[in-house]
Structure 1
């Protein structure tokens, strides 16, 4: 423990300008903003091993943030956090309990504070900076006990933190699309999973969200309140066919389904999707198939939904490039928003990133907050059973109490 760590515990109230003066002194005199309690303990006790966890000053501030902080105290604490970020503090380093600073605030019920917003903003800045140096999307991951930033696996069904080497990730169906497309899948009651690993590709707890997604993209079927002469919709990623069943009920003129996995395509054939007169099945990845549609130049969509497995956020950015050429001027785009959804703070970072990225394409993104607290996905067990929806699933891909349902359309000028 050092004076820096003690300072961040706010033993003396009120928290005023004296804290800023002392913190500035420590940082200007060479104490790293990421200097951890564990490192200090090892140094004081002559322990040469590297610390296995990272309780940083920012973690301590989040742990000790006074629940009854006055407006002035909150301002000072926010300035302290800003100063730490200025000197290189990490927004996503994890402590011994596996919590980032933002996670600590979430668990304390302090998401409403300016400090939490500042941490989210720091996450957005870090991602944008990493892009500039051609790095991948930032995410929290542990490797042999050390907290560090690793590549985000960020498909819309984002999986939870997992310890894997890069070589292992290349053969992991949840991380590599090539590995996923060659993996065997199994349809079981209420879920579609990978045969070998039991990764949850899709699960029926998403049904209400799929219904919401269908209703959203069909908003693009209307022009000035009147139904379009021809309504064409596209769903990317069939999975269990949940949203496609809702789409079929609305009887669009053309219903395009893009799906790449051979086991899913076989299921679609068996269930008669190929035989439906208004259905067009695009066999292959969306990158292959949508480029062909763009080249034709005569297919445009009122609504597009995106819900794939094992794709990264950078793939979504590539999709945005294609989307602007295939969406009608009044069309609507939506997607299963599981980006970073195993941690609330990461989920909030992605919410901001998606909006910023879409705005670069002349698209606006609004979110509807859907309360998931009473959903089966957040229950310890299902009614009439002793198990959780995540039983036997390798990695839960949803851990948040609120779902940010996206609606994307062209900006109106």
Structure 2
């Protein structure tokens, strides 16, 4: 019987190690930093965790979740080991690396949350954090806000988050801490000169007329921020047409776009990521791109997105009924991963056929599904069999895709 107990304990230990992967901290600002800064940050965090009588299971679990969200290359145990190598040179490198960086505020919050999880006397840890904060030139008003924010995180309390936000200095972005606060803050809005974020805990229909600002028009949403993040929003394009112009980075996460005759426009944007989004019932092209460097569609669903048009010349022209660019060669990268297209394509009321039915832009498409995707002529007649009857242009790449009752890939 002993061998069964030993095997069960072995499996329990494996499950314990895998648990952190299920609750990985996503979108920590450290994840976008170079390895040198990640190493400094995480080593110092491990040092703080061990300062008072070692580290308990709750603290280790948080460290594992943070580290997995930041890097897949190094384990928590390895960072804990590296922390034993800390010396005065390490301290100097840490202070020089972060004293002028906004990331130091995230470090203080991570440290305070980590300390609060300790089951021993944490006074030593708090004193250590205070001394580091002083070296990092964090002011008293900034510390007050970070402490209040950490308390709201520990208690998962939105009222305390709101109280903390009232004390937030203008130089600290609340958006930075969204990796914690999204779990308990039902509505999160952050507006800065070059950034705009709006996030709901659950998908919520949002009328942009509720929020008056310089980037909103009466029936459109023209956004020119450098960085835009929208999450869990339901947007009716009939009432509010979306146009993103001159953006460095756009992230639309788990949003639903109710279609109409209005397309969603992206102009002069560098990096676009649409993940977990739903697009349905578009009567025009869903996405129109102009001079976009890179766009990624990940785990998105397109349902009944059909471009209705009238073209009386040019058989087998590239259509781009869902994703379109007037100058497709200007779109450097189009990636489509794990997406679904159902009942999508085009309808021409004239007797002329179309190719590149889904997109007229060359793209790399992987692990996606295409169900009943065609172009129709004379309103309801499917285009005839032809080598040009395709979903994408000829130079597109296809890998592990499935096609059910649809035109061929390219």
Higher relative contact order (CA 8 A, sep 6+): 1
Greater share of helix: 1
Please say which structure displays the higher CA radius of gyration: 2
TM-score by length of 2: 0.26
TM-score by length of 1: 0.26
